[in-house]
Chains A and B, each alone.
Chain A
C-alpha cells in the first residue's frame, strides 16, 4: 500500500513538473518572438540543442530577421535527442505552422522521418546548418570545406615540415568527421607533416584546456594545433598562455564568432574559419518564405550553399561588431 502511494506521488510530481516545464517554455517563446500583430506567418525553429552555442547564434540571426518582418518564430528544443526532436516537431506542427526550419540532431540518416512529419501537415521543411537530406532545401556550408581551408592555411603559413596536434569534437558527429577528414586529406599530401596528437574534447573549452595541458607535459614538439571549433582551440590557447608558449605554437579553430574573435584579439587564437551564423539563420527564414511562395516545391532536395571565410590576425577586426 505504502509503495503504491509513493509511486502515485512520484508519477504525479513528474507529470506536474513536466506540465510546469511545458507552460514555462511556451511563455518564454511568445516573449522571445515579440508581440507582433501580424500573425500571418508562423515558423517553427527546431534546434538540435539549446546548449549548442553556435546554433544559438544562428537562431538569433533568424529571430532578428523574423522580428523585422513580423513573422512569429517558435523555438523548439530537440535536447540533442532525435526521438525528442521528432515528437516535439510533431507537436508544433499540430499547433499549426507555415513552415519548419530544422537543425537535425542526427545527420547520419536520410532524415526521411522528419520529412514524413512535414508532409503529414503539408508544410515546407528547410534544414539549417546541419544537413537533412530529405528537406525541401538545405541551407548550409560544406563542412569539409572548413577543414580543407584550415589545412591549406597551415601549409601556406607554417611550411611543409610540421608537428601538428589535432583536437576533434564529439566523435562521429558530422562536423567532426567531415572537418577532420578534409583537414587530414590536405595534410597527408605532405610527408613531413606529422600528426603528433589527436584527441577528442567534445567541442568544449574546459576539456580542450585539460588535454592541451597534458600535451605540454609530454614535452613533445608541437608547431600547430588545429581544432574542430573555436571553443576547444581557445582552451588550448589558455593552456599555452599559462605555460608561456603562445609565441611558439599556432592555434587554429573554426567558427569565428564573438568568443573566437575576442580570443583572437587577446592573441590566444591565431586564426579561425568564419562560418556565417546569423546570416545562415536569416537565409533559412528567407528560404522558408521562398518555399511558401512556391519557388521550391520540395520534389527534389536543393542546396543553398553558404561560404566559409578565413579569418586571420590581419582581418579579424572586420568581423567584430
Chain B
C-alpha cells in the first residue's frame, strides 16, 4: 500500500502539472466554447510571455535554493529607461539600456548574496524597494508615453500569425533549457540547490555560480521589460507589481521545488500556461474579480502542497 501511494505521488510529480493543465483546458472549453481556439491560444501565450520569461530566471534561482523578489520592480525601472530612449526614437539604445539596467540589478543581487551570504529573500526584498524607488526617480513618477512605431512592433507585431513576444519566449525557453540541462553550469546549479556543502566539496565555485544565476535573472527581466514597455506603449513606474509572484507561482506549479535542487524549464512553461489559462478563462466566463482572487490564492496553496508531497516522494526514493 505504501509503495503504491509512493508510486502515485511520484508519478503525479512528473506529469501532474501537465494533467492539471489539460484538465483546466477541458473544463474551460466546455464552459466557454470560444476558449478553445488557435487565436485564444496565441492570446494566452502572448499574455504569459512577460512573466514567463521572468520565470525562466526564477526557475534557475529557485533551483539553487534562492528566491528573487525584485524582478517586478526591476522591470519597472528598466521600463522607464527603455521608454525614455524609445520615445526619443533610439531603439537600440532602448533595448541595450533596458537589459543593462536589469542586468545591473541582478549583478548587485547576485554579488551581495554570493559575497556576504545574506539570505536572498532579504537581499532581493531590498532590491525590490530600491528598484521601485529608482523607477520613480527617473521621471519623478510620471509615465512616459507614445513610443515610436518601430519599437511598438516588438510587443505588438507578429511574424506570420505568431506574435513576436511568443517567438522571444520560445527562443529564451530553448536557450534556458539548454543552459540548465546540457551545460556544466546547469549541473552546478542543480548541485548547489541539492546540497551546497557537497557541491563546494566537489570543486564547484558556489559563489560564482550563485552570482551568475542572479545575473541571468537580470537579463531575463530586462528582455521582459522591453516586451512589456513596447506592448503597453508606455514606461510607467507603477507597472510590474506582483510580477515576481506570478513568476514564482508559474515556477512552483511547474514542479520546481522551493527547497531547491529540482525543477525544469519545461515545467515552468506548463506552470505559466496553467496560470494564463485560468486568468483568461475566468475573465472570458465573466467570473467576478473577487472570485478570481480566491481561485488564484487556492491555486498557489494547492501547488505548494503538491510540491511538499513531491519532495517527500523524492526523498523516499533517495
Bound complex: CA of A262 vs CA of B146, how far in Å? 8
Write 29 A-B pairs (CB below 8 A) sorted by A numbering. Answer: A6-B118, A13-B116, A13-B118, A14-B122, A17-B126, A51-B136, A52-B141, A52-B238, A53-B142, A197-B283, A197-B286, A202-B241, A205-B239, A210-B47, A210-B279, A213-B47, A214-B280, A215-B283, A217-B34, A218-B32, A218-B283, A218-B284, A234-B234, A238-B232, A242-B156, A259-B145, A262-B146, A263-B145, A266-B146
**Would A196 and B156 be within 8 Å (CB), given that A205-B232, A214-B280 are in contact?**
no
- B residues engaging A (CB < 8 A)? 32, 34-35, 37, 39-40, 43, 46-47, 116-118, 122, 126, 132-133, 136-137, 140-143, 145-146, 156, 228, 231-234, 236-241, 279-280, 283-286, 288-290, 292-293
User: Whose C-beta in chain B lies nearest to the C-beta of A209?
Assistant: B232
Write the nearest CB–CB distance from B128 to chain A, whole angstroms. 12
Write the nearest CB–CB distance from B78 to chain A, whole angstroms. 14
3 smallest beta-carbon distances between A and B, as pairs: A200-B289, A56-B141, A218-B284
Q: Are A50 and B136 in contact (CB under 8 A)?
A: yes
A15 close to chain B: CB less than 8 A: no
A119 close to chain B: CB less than 8 A: no
**Would A205 and B234 be within 8 Å (CB), given that A10-B118, A200-B289 are in contact?**
yes
Known: A217-B280, A218-B285; 5 extra A-B contacts, CB below 8 A, are A171-B290, A202-B241, A204-B239, A217-B37, A218-B34
From the candidates A57, A214, A235, name the one contacting B232 in the complex (CB within 8 A): A235
B interface, over-half SS: helix
Bound complex: CA of A262 vs CA of B233, how far in Å? 12
Give A33-74 interface residues, CB cut-off 8 Å to B: 50-53, 56-57, 60
Q: Which residues of A contact B39 (CB under 8 A)?
A: 217
Q: Are B34 and A51 in contact (CB under 8 A)?
A: no
Q: Which residues of A contact B32 (CB under 8 A)?
A: 218
Q: Which residues of B contact A160 (CB under 8 A)?
A: none
From the candidates A168, A206, A215, A262, name the one contacting B289 in the complex (CB within 8 A): A168
Q: Are B279 and A214 in contact (CB under 8 A)?
A: yes
Write the nearest CB–CB distance from B47 to chain A, whole angstroms. 5
Q: Are A211 and B231 in contact (CB under 8 A)?
A: no
Q: Are A53 and B236 in contact (CB under 8 A)?
A: yes
From the candidates B146, B231, B286, name the one contacting A198 in the complex (CB within 8 A): B286
Task: Count how many pairs of residues, one from A and one from B, have CB atoms less than 8 Å apart in the complex.
Answer: 106
From the candidates B118, B141, B279, name the one contacting A50 in the complex (CB within 8 A): B141
A192 close to chain B: CB less than 8 A: no
Q: Are A199 and B145 in contact (CB under 8 A)?
A: no
Q: Which residues of B contact A218 (CB under 8 A)?
A: 32, 34, 283-285
A258 close to chain B: CB less than 8 A: yes
Q: Are A9 and B116 in contact (CB under 8 A)?
A: yes
Bound complex: CA of A52 vs CA of B289, how far in Å? 22
Bound complex: CA of A242 vs CA of B42, how far in Å? 13
Q: Which residues of A contact B46 (CB under 8 A)?
A: 213
Q: Are A171 and B289 in contact (CB under 8 A)?
A: yes
Give A165-207 interface residues, CB cut-off 8 Å to B: 168, 171, 196-200, 202-206
From the candidates A14, A21, A51, A258, name the one contacting B238 in the complex (CB within 8 A): A51
Write the nearest CB–CB distance from B258 to chain A, whole angstroms. 21
Which of A197, A210, A215, A219 is most buried by chain B, counting CB atoms within 10 A of its CB?
A210
Bound complex: CA of A36 vs CA of B137, how far in Å? 22
- A residues engaging B (CB < 8 A)? 6, 9-10, 13-14, 17, 21, 28, 50-53, 56-57, 60, 168, 171, 196-200, 202-206, 209-211, 213-215, 217-219, 231, 234-235, 238, 242, 258-259, 262-263, 266
Write the nearest CB–CB distance from A263 to chain B, whole angstroms. 8
Q: Are B234 and A219 in contact (CB under 8 A)?
A: no
Q: Are B43 and A217 in contact (CB under 8 A)?
A: yes
User: Whose C-beta in chain B lies nearest to the C-beta of A266?
Assistant: B146
Which of B34, B46, B118, B234 is most buried by chain A, counting CB atoms within 10 A of its CB?
B234
Q: Which residues of A contact B236 (CB under 8 A)?
A: 53, 204-205, 231
User: Whose C-beta in chain B lies nearest to the C-beta of A265?
Assistant: B146
Bound complex: CA of A39 vs CA of B301, how far in Å? 55
**Would A258 and B145 be within 8 Å (CB), given that A218-B32, A238-B233, A242-B156 are in contact?**
yes
**Would A10 and B145 be within 8 Å (CB), given that A51-B136, A259-B234 are in contact?**
no
Bound complex: CA of A235 vs CA of B145, how far in Å? 12
From the candidates A53, A168, A199, A215, name the one contacting B143 in the complex (CB within 8 A): A53
**Would A199 and B238 be within 8 Å (CB), given that A9-B116, A213-B43, A217-B34 are in contact?**
no
User: Whose C-beta in chain A lies nearest to the C-beta of B289?
Assistant: A200
Write the nearest CB–CB distance from B265 to chain A, whole angstroms. 23
Bound complex: CA of A60 vs CA of B141, how far in Å? 10
Bound complex: CA of A52 vs CA of B141, how far in Å? 8
From the candidates B35, B47, B132, B143, name the one contacting A259 in the complex (CB within 8 A): B143
Bound complex: CA of A201 vs CA of B292, how far in Å? 12
Bound complex: CA of A224 vs CA of B146, how far in Å? 24
Bound complex: CA of A199 vs CA of B288, how far in Å? 6
From the candidates B37, B132, B241, B284, name the one contacting A214 in the complex (CB within 8 A): B284
Q: Which residues of A contact B283 (CB under 8 A)?
A: 197, 199, 211, 214-215, 218
User: Whose C-beta in chain B lies nearest to the C-beta of A208?
Assistant: B232
Bound complex: CA of A53 vs CA of B141, how far in Å? 6
User: Whose C-beta in chain A lies nearest to the C-beta of B228?
Assistant: A206
Q: Which residues of B contact A9 (CB under 8 A)?
A: 116, 118
